[in-house]
């Protein structure tokens, strides 16, 4: 990554995350941890994981080694980096001719231990998945709720629909209806 791009990222003031953004990141963290507990217990998924490769943005979700200390603030190695993206990420930072999301994606792909990069769209059911292979990176674009997201190196698999559960793209209607019905029953004398 060019030094100018790195400095451009530093000048971009992050906007507060939307609720959908936070929910998608939480869903991905939970789904990854459920699988990592069984398949790779030496790894853990954590949100907003600072990685020690300069003053650069932390991915929304990162898979890192589980053996961190109580006061540790960053990690040296990251094995999966995921960004929940929106329209602002497609903009080019000042003094740069590439979108913020592409700069971040290249940064994560350049990290020697990173085996997978995910770009999860916030406003539609779509994931760009980069997997490191012996021959370089293989990119797939997954769309629609029934598409299957698989990251074999972690034994991870889910439907795209699972990432968006509880967002406007896949509301939790049944759970909300049960909650409302339960609340009504409690108010009756």
114: tokens are: 């990173």
Segment among 49-58, 69-78, 145-154, 155-164 with least mean pLDDT = 49-58
C-alpha 51/C-alpha 76 separation (Å) is: 6
The answer to whether residues 100 and 9 touch, using CB atoms and an 8 Å cutoff, is yes
Residue 79 sits in a domain whose CATH number is 3.90.1570.10
Q: Is the pLDDT of residue 101 over 60?
A: yes
Q: Is the pLDDT of residue 34 over 90?
A: yes
When the pLDDT of each residue in the chain is averaged and rounded to a whole number, the result is 86
- How many structural domains does the chain have? 1
Q: Which domain holds residue 157?
A: 3-187
pTM: 0.82
133 CB burial (10 A radius; 0-12, 13-18, 19+): exposed
pLDDT in tens, 166-181: 999 999 865 555 556 5
- Nearest Cα residue to 156 out of 40, 58, 24: 40
Pairing of strands 156-159, 80-85: unpaired
36 vs 49: which has the higher pLDDT: 36
Which pLDDT score is estimated for 165? Answer: 95
């Amino acid at each position: 990554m060019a030094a100018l791009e790195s400095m451009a990222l530093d000048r971009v003031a992050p906007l507060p995350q939307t609720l959908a953004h936070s929910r998608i990141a939480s869903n991905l963290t939970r789904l990854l941890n459920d699988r990592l507990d069984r398949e790779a217990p030496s790894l853990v998924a954590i949100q907003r994981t600072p990685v020690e490769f300069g003053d650069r943005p932390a991915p929304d979700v990162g898979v890192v080694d589980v053996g961190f200390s109580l006061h540790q603030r960053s990690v040296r190695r990251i094995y999966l980096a995921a960004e929940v993206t929106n329209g602002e990420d497609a903009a080019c930072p000042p003094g740069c001719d590439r979108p913020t999301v592409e700069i971040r994606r290249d940064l994560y792909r350049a990290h020697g231990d990173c085996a997978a990069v995910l770009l999860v769209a916030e406003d539609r059911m779509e994931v760009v998945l980069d997997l490191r292979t012996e021959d370089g990176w293989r990119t797939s674009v997954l769309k629609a709720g029934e598409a299957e997201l698989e990251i074999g190196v972690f034994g991870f698999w889910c439907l795209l629909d699972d990432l968006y559960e509880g967002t406007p793209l896949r509301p939790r209607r049944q759970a909300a209806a049960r909650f409302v019905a339960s609340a009504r029953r409690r108010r009756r004398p």
